[in-house]
Amino acid sequence: MSLFDVVGPIMIGPSSSHTAGAAKIGLLARNIFHHPLKRVSIVLYNSFADTGPGHGTLQAIVGGLLGFSMEDERIPQSLELAKQQSIAIDFSFLDDPEKHPNYVTILFDKDSASCFSVSGVSVGGGHAKIVEINDNKVEFSGRHDLLILQYRDICGMVALVGKLLARHHVNIAYMQISRDAVEEKALAVLKLDAPVPSIVLNELENKPEIYSAVAVPRWKEEEL
Amino acid sequence: MNLPKRIRIKGWQDAVEQMQSYALEDLYAFFLAYESQNSEIPLDLLIQKMEHRLSTMKTSIHNGLKKPNITDSGWINGGAFHMKQFTEKGHSLLGKDFSMMVSKILAVSELNACMGRIVAAPTAGSCGVLPGVLLSVAEKKHYRDHDLVKALFVAGGIGEVISIRASLSGSNHGCQAEVGSASAMTAGALVYLSGGDHEQIESAAAFALKNILGLVCDPVAGRVEIPCIKRNVMGGCNALACAEMSLSGIKTLIPLDEVIDTMATIGDTLPCTLKETSLGGLAVSPSGKKMKLQTKLPRKE
């Protein structure tokens, strides 16, 4: 670990796993969803469900969804701030021994055709990972610049994206692909050494086989 | 001497030996180089980053003392503020400096419980120890920020060694791993600040951790309030005493690495009920159970 994980992070209390990590999941989910927030359902599991309400977990997740970092002093007021922005938020609390103790699923526009879900786990020390996007298993913590693509599962898509990124000198550090064979849909998460140039993003979005292309900026712990 | 691309350490003794083999001046220089090589971030940026942590610690103390901190459970009700007033009225048993230190440790821990901004050190639950003690001593002895930043790197290094050989989390090893580690980090940082050498730093950290071995994590209703906040005060007072003992020339007979390994063994032996699950200890005392029922938690669906 880093010495700055030992003396740090700078965060809103009271708990690095239940508050700081929860805020990080909310912020990552916001950046992945990448649309204005209207209706959000938050499902907390296990320890997040049991002790989350006493640890500001709800405020932290919503704060992250509003774009606040884990050290933002507006986190305690996030529920009121969301209400002021006319964002409808509901919570539910479940047990599932199969899941990580600090697990949360965030559903955007639930029960609509455009329903989008992101699940994350808080692993301690303010660190968190996204583990599922729309039923696709993924795993990333936001340390890299990311490109997240949803596309029609046909031959040559990886080559196309790779070529486009290479043309703009963006190196791919790691990539994960998962697909739904029935719906012929695939989801790819690319971890990159540099941010996705907007010209690449535009080009990807204009391809009919690509349903969505979202760039998630590298996680910035705090200003310094 | 050239540093390797990455610096890996197995423990405290190993860190000291590597510091000597790279001809680095002291433990601050070693842990700064360690961080820089492993994160590929230049030294000056790391120092700036630590300066920002130091200034956040100062703000936490200020914010935690300016008004009574009250948690939504009502269990924490202005403790730091009361302690400050008690001190100002001249009621201290041993003198103003000591009582103000207690008040500062409470201030940061209470601010954390009230969803204020703090620096986890090493955890949020133990965040009062290091700033409360370090900044009290700094004020008394007129240390400059420049020196405090160096001491924070030494504190970070001690915590890093504990995380490598054991862990810093209450759910793994109980409160000994949180407040115990915070106390060891603080004791070592104080000795560094006072000009002690690496052996004296080791003794102070070893004393501090030895004294807190076996401490369980049993928060009432799972909240970071009772007994966590007062345990921060205990960890801070312990750190101060251990630093002074070491500076006086008392030496640990059990090396720090062995104390840390012992903490891990004890932590592994502790039942889960005493490791942050709130299923044992004070959490299940008659009053603890009653308090849990009082807290307004949303009903599970």
Q: What is the pLDDT of residue A48?
A: 92
Round to whole Å and give the CA distance between A209 and B110: 54
Round to whole Å and give the CA distance between B189 and B178: 16
Cβ pair B53:A7 closer than 8 A? yes
The answer, yes or no, to whether residue B238 has pLDDT greater than 90, is yes
Taking the Cβ of residue A4 and every Cβ of chain B, the question of whether any pair is shorter than 8 Å is answered with yes
DSSP lists the bridge partners of residue A22 as none
Round to whole Å and give the CA distance between B188 and B156: 10
B chain contacts of residue A94, beta-carbon cutoff 8 Å:
300-301
Taking the Cβ of residue B272 and every Cβ of chain A, the question of whether any pair is shorter than 8 Å is answered with no
Chain A with chain B: Cβ pairs closer than 8 A: 138
Per residue in B169-201, is it b (16+ CB within 10 Å) or e — as a string? bbbbbbbbbbbbbbbbbbbbbbbbbbebebebb
Taking the Cβ of residue B101 and every Cβ of chain A, the question of whether any pair is shorter than 8 Å is answered with no
SS3 for chain B, per residue?
CCCCCCCCCCCHHHHHHHHHHCCCCCHHHHHHHHHHHHHCCCHHHHHHHHHHHHHHHHHHHHHHHHCCCECCCCCCECHHHHHHHHHHCCCCCCCHHHHHHHHHHHHHHHHHHCCCEEECCCCCCCCCHHHHHHHHHHHHHCCCHHHHHHHHHHHHHHHHHHHHHCCCCHHHHCHHHHHHHHHHHHHHHHHHHCCCCHHHHHHHHHHHHHHHCCCCECCHHHCCCCCHHHHHHHHHHHHHHHHHHHHCCCCCCCCHHHHHHHHHHHHHHCCHHHECCCCCHHHHCHHHHHHHHHCCCCCCC
B15-52 tens-digit pLDDT? 999 999 999 999 999 999 999 999 999 999 999 999 99
Q: With a cut of 50, which residues of chain A have pLDDT below it?
A: 223-224
Which 70-89 residues of chain A touch chain B by CB within 8 A? 71, 73, 75-76
Q: Can you tell me the mean pLDDT for B267-293? A: 94
Q: Can you tell me the mean pLDDT for B118-134? A: 97
Q: How confident is the model at residue B1 (pLDDT cuts 50, 70, 90)?
A: low
Which 156-185 residues of chain B touch chain A by CB within 8 A? 156-157, 159-160, 163, 168-169, 171, 185
Q: Which of B49, B163, B185 to mutate to test the interface with A (most CBs of A within 10 A)?
A: B49
Cβ pair A125:B120 closer than 8 A? yes
Task: For A92, name the nearest residue in chain B, comparing CA atoms only.
Answer: B301
The alpha carbon of residue A161 is apart from the nearest alpha carbon of chain B, in Å, by 29
Cβ pair B115:A2 closer than 8 A? no
Which residue has 């008392």 as its token pair? B250
B51-97 tens-digit pLDDT? 999 999 999 999 999 999 999 899 999 999 999 999 999 999 999 99
The alpha carbon of residue A8 is apart from the nearest alpha carbon of chain B, in Å, by 5
Q: What is the pLDDT of residue B300?
A: 45
Q: What is the pLDDT of residue A223?
A: 43
By three-state DSSP, how is residue A169 classified? coil
**What secondary structure letter does DSSP report for A206?**
T
Task: For B32, name the nearest residue in chain A, comparing CA atoms only.
Answer: A3
Round to whole Å and give the CA distance between A66 and A23: 10
Q: How confident is the model at residue B231 (pLDDT cuts 50, 70, 90)?
A: very high
Q: What is the pLDDT of residue A160?
A: 94
B176-185 tens-digit pLDDT? 999 999 999 9
Residue of B120, B169, B297 lying closest to A11 (CB–CB): B120
Q: What is the pLDDT of residue A182?
A: 84
A141-181 tens-digit pLDDT? 988 999 999 999 999 999 999 999 999 999 999 999 998 88
| Sequence-distant (≥ 6) Cβ neighbours of residue A119 within 8 angstroms | A103, A104, A105, A106, A130, A131, A132, A133
The answer, yes or no, to whether residue B297 has pLDDT greater than 90, is no
Cβ pair A54:B73 closer than 8 A? yes
Q: What is the pLDDT of residue A224?
A: 41
**Rama region for B261: left / alpha / beta (φ>0; ψ in -120 to 50; rest):** alpha
By three-state DSSP, how is residue A60 classified? helix
The alpha carbon of residue B98 is apart from the nearest alpha carbon of chain A, in Å, by 24
Of the candidates A12, A224, A190, A149, the one whose C-alpha atom is nearest the C-alpha of residue B44 is A224
Residue of A15, A16, A224 lying closest to B49 (CB–CB): A224
* Residue B234 near residue B184, CB atoms below 8 Å: no
Task: For A60, name the nearest residue in chain B, comparing CA atoms only.
Answer: B115
Q: What is the pLDDT of residue A213?
A: 95
Q: What is the pLDDT of residue A181?
A: 81
Read off the pTM: 0.94
Of the candidates B297, B213, B300, B296, the one whose C-alpha atom is nearest the C-alpha of residue B259 is B213
Taking the Cβ of residue A96 and every Cβ of chain B, the question of whether any pair is shorter than 8 Å is answered with no
* Residue B177 near residue B162, CB atoms below 8 Å: yes
The alpha carbon of residue B186 is apart from the nearest alpha carbon of chain A, in Å, by 11
Q: Can you tell me the mean pLDDT for B268-293? A: 94
